[in-house]
Chain A
Amino acid sequence: NAGVMQNPRHLVRRRGQEARLRCSPMKGHSHVYWYRQLPEEGLKFMVYLQKENIIDESGMPKERFSAEFPKEGPSILRIQQVVRGDSAAYFCASSPTTLSSGANVLTFGAGSRLTVL
């Protein structure tokens, strides 16, 4: 079991470019969560998705950020027109079902570190 796979591990973009971060959940997991870790801060929830559905995007910035989890393929976090303040580590986590059902925990990926020049 390869765990939660994220790529790229490191991404450098110039201001105004687009960043795409990919996350493949653990085998058998159909729930994906994205978190952002800014320097000197904890992880902040961004969005929670199931296959083809956004369930909770209350932590997503209103502009430039979007996420999807298509029927086939990985979940993608897209940041358009990046700015320096987007530089952070972006972590993906997955779970087999909703966290509210039973004793589920999140399994995290290794993260994608975005640097905006």
Chain B
Amino acid sequence: AQSVSQHNHHVILSEAASLELGCNYSYGGTVNLFWYVQYPGQHLQLLLKYFSGDPLVKGIKGFEAEFIKSKFSFNLRKPSVQWSDTAEYFCAVRTGANNLFFGTGTRLTVIP
């Protein structure tokens, strides 16, 4: 069965620190990959997505993610976080089915 793993449950960083959130999935076929963000009290918003082509994708607010097929990974990165990046981040994978499989989420707290 497909699964998505986010090993970091809670990450605490100071402003200007670099961020990398891990995401691994288990599925051997073609995948579409997503990162969603949920700011406190708000709905999930799409940060970035990978469908095909360049494995390094750029998203909104300075986020990027790299698809490494050999490692079944799609880690999220940002070179310098801000206090406003405090949120919960969800990795999601779509395989052949018409739905997304989500990871358990990583809560990011950025300290001013």
Contacts and interface: CB of A to CB of B under 8 A. Distances in A.
Interface string B86-112: 000010101011111111110000000
B51 interface: yes
B42 A56 contact: no
Place the interface of chain B in its size category.
Answer: 20 to 34
Contact of A99 (B44, B45, B94, B105): B94
Given A41-B104, A43-B90, A98 B98 contact: yes
Interface residues of A, number: 27
B100 A45 contact: yes
A100 B98 contact: yes
Given A56-B98, A100-B97, A105-B49, 17 more contacts: A33-B99, A40-B104, A43-B92, A45-B99, A45-B101, A48-B99, A55-B98, A56-B97, A91-B43, A91-B44, A99-B97, A99-B98, A99-B100, A103-B32, A103-B51, A108-B43, A110-B43
B43 A109 contact: yes
B17 interface: no
Nearest to B6: A42
Contacts of B43: 4, 91, 108-111
A100 B51 CA distance: 11
A109 B100 CA distance: 15
A64 interface: no
A44 interface: yes
B109 to A, nearest CB: 16
Contacts of B102: 35, 42-44
B12 interface: no
Interface in A82-112: 91, 93, 98-100, 103, 105-111
